[in-house]
Structure 1
Amino acid sequence: MIAFGPEILLVLLVALAIDALLGEPNWVWERFPHPVVWFGKAIGLCDRLFNHPSEQSPFVGRLTGLMVIIVLFAGGTALAWFLQESLLSLGIFGGIVLALVSSVLIAQKSLYDHVLAVQKPLEDGDIIAARQAVSMIVGRETKFLEKDGVARAAIESLAENFSDGIVAPVFWFALFGFPGLVAYKIVNTADSMIGHKNDRYLWFGWASARLDDLLNLMPARLTMLLLLLSPFHPVGGRAAMGVGAVWAAIKRDAPKHRSPNAGWPESATAGRLDIALSGPRYYGSKLVDEPFVNDGGRVDIGPVEVGDALRLYRSSLIVQFLAIAAIAGFCLL
């Protein structure tokens, strides 16, 4: 049942405010396992028990993976619904606790801090530290990246994770409450663990990868709109591309991306910053020849452009918060 309504939206606004202020309190997760760790343990257990690619046909592998993600999805949703209903029955105090728990699964400040950790060594000219920092947020090989490659990797990660780490959880929470948030995070975690096109997960992880694509379909495009329409001007007196020109570039470039969803926020970011993103990169020793997004944009980039990306990100977060507040206010009328 859709849980959309002012009560849920107010809980969401409090959760966003808590996450923006506190982020990921490391002192908590040093003592207690993060909820995503529990999701990962459950997915890992199912992987060990049910994924035997050398003994299974592609059909059996796909069917097994589908059944696993259905059970995890349904079980997580049921537990989250029980917790939500129990907390909301306690009134305002329960709503605040629910917001606090929900904030743990939204990564606004954490994402900002991780990208800022790349910008600072770039500003200091410490390419070794910058490579190390960016390796924490990307899957590609980083040890040979120069300044522009590090900056590009950080900005791409910011754009993609803005969609699946913030906008998508917020979207599904707004529609279905805490159960929607938990269900999305389970699928997204499963995709990151088993949704790979390799010998072990090609069939078993197929359902998780396709479901993750489906759940991110609308959020990715909402992220693109936030990045496209939020107030922003690059520093240093550089002229910003007009919204119409950026939109034309998005329509041209987003479908070229290997992901059906990631190209939308990435191309919006590239257009607003007037830089080229994506392009060839190494995963391990394998060169993946990806096309550039916003080909023709600047390729000689560095800490200034990372800073611009962070300012665009902050502006988009504010617009998202205000939009949710406006919808909540309208629902209360």
Structure 2
Amino acid sequence: MNWALPLALPLAWGLDAVFGEPRNRFHPVAWLGLLLGPLGRHFSTWAPGAAFVAGAAAWWVIAAALGAGAWWVQLSLLNHSPGWVALLLLGLLLKPCFAWRMLRDEVAAVETALLRGGLEAARQRLSRLVSRDVHNFGDIQIRETAIETLAENLNDSVVAPLAWFAIAGLPGAVVYRFANTADAMWGYRGRYEWAGKWAARADDVLSWLPARLTAALVRPAWAPAAWRALRAEAARTPSPNGGWAMGAMALRLNVRLGKPGLYLLHPAGAAPGESHVVQALHVAGRAAATAVLGATLLWCARGLWP
């Protein structure tokens, strides 16, 4: 068996732990942004029907190109390179597909700013993580939003790309990272609604299973009643996927989490405090590590299967 593919994920995880995210000029996701930004702005000026067709066509062309390129690289490395070379290069290529250390550090920095610098410092730090207006947030809302962001991005930035790596190797992780980036840049109502409608729906489809896996990692719900409670919390949000991880975190910490005017998760829970942010980071870290272990073991099992 060629162990380069199953061992590439622990290597990529180690690179993330030691180095974090590469600078934008070296980051493939930043390169995608340079392509998607102008395309989205251009398509958004078109009539709705034409914008939708153009956005969907561009999505498929880019996804196919990235998926085919990743498949060719993976196949070439596994079949024509020494094991250590394949392992090193696959690990380097896989690392930009997920971002646990940055997510953890940014959420922790919000809590540190709140404790050391007060509300204004925490608001400024939180504004780097979310697009919503935070200038009137108090400490409870700041912590609510930080925990929500941690939970939702645990799926988008960690579990989902790892799940797609487990399913389809490097091409799966690469295509998912593209789909999530396209949704983040195009998947908005208003100016980008029609140009980004396909990107938003594609991200919903690709995130469907990982979102529920993330929820199960955050708050295991093997009993039917526990799963029904989790499903009920997830249904409170307008997103088909985002509510699962956030609802699981709210139930796990026994806190309420909400976005004014949109949803309130676990309303019977306590208001988030400092200890809850620390606990959320611990829970998310364990869930992320479990996802890495699970994906690695799955690839090992594939290699041993006759």
- Is the contact between residue 255 and residue 266 of structure 2 (CA under 8 Å) also seen in structure 1? yes
In structure 1, the gaps of 5 or more residues are 231-241, 281-288
Match of 2:231 among 236, 248, 251: 251
1:274 to 254, 279, 296: 254
- Segment drifting more, 96-105 vs 164-173: 96-105
The counterpart of 1:38, out of the listed 4, 18, 31, is 31
Residue of structure 2 aligned with 1:61, choices 41, 51, 60: 51
When the two structures are superposed, what TM-score results if normalisation uses the length of structure 1?
0.84
For residues 103-140 of structure 1, what are the alpha-carbon distances to aligned partners after superposition, in whole Å with 9 as ceiling and x for unaligned? 12210111101111011122336211111111111111
Structure 2 residues without counterparts, runs of 5 or longer = none
Which among 131, 155, 161 is matched to residue 163 of structure 1? 155
Asked if the contact 1:23–1:109 (Cα under 8 Å) also holds between the matched residues in 2, the reply is yes
Q: How many residues were matched structurally?
A: 301
Question: For residues 147 and 60 of structure 1, what CA distance do their matches in structure 2 show?
Answer: 45
Considering fraction of residues, name the structure with more helix: 2
| Structure 2 residue 72 is matched with structure 1 residue 82 | yes
Alignment partner of 1:321 out of 284, 288, 292: 292
The runs of 4+ residues in structure 1 deviating greater than 4 Å are 242-246
1:21 aligns with 2:18: yes
Identity %: 35
Superposition deviation, residue 324 in structure 1:
2.9
Identify the range of structure 1 (104-113 vs 267-276) with the bigger mean alpha-carbon deviation. Answer: 104-113
1:330 aligns to what? 301
Q: Cα RMSD between the aligned structures?
A: 2.2
SS at match of 1:104: helix
Residue-by-residue CA offset, 1:199-230 (whole Å, 9 max, x unaligned): x2111111000001101000000000100139
Match of 1:214 in 2: 205
8 Å contact kept, 1:247–1:268: no
Q: Structure 2 CA distance, aligned partners of 1:262 and 1:22?
A: 28
**Residue aligned with 1:229, SS:** coil
Residues in 2 aligned to 1:304 and 1:229: alpha-carbon distance in whole angstroms: 21
Cα distance in 1 for partners of 2:110, 2:223 equals 28
**Equivalences for 1:1-333 in 2 at 5 Å?**
7-25=4-22, 29=23, 32-53=25-46, 56=47, 58-88=48-78, 89-91=80-82, 92-124=84-116, 126-198=118-190, 200-229=191-220, 247-280=227-260, 289-299=261-271, 301-333=272-304
Q: TM-score, normalised by structure 2?
A: 0.91
Deviations 1:237-269 (A, max 9, x none): xxxxx9877544312110121110000000000
The DSSP-based 3-state class of the residue aligned with 1:140 is: coil
SS at match of 1:216: helix
* Alpha-carbon contact 2:166-2:299 (below 8 Å) kept: no
Instruction: Give 2:243's aligned amino acid.
Output: G
Residue 40 and residue 249 in structure 1: after superposition, are their counterparts in 2 closer, same or farther (change >3 A)?
Answer: same
1:245 & 1:113 partners in 2: Cα distance?
A: 34
The residue type equivalent to 2:5 in the other structure is I
Corresponding residue for 1:233? none
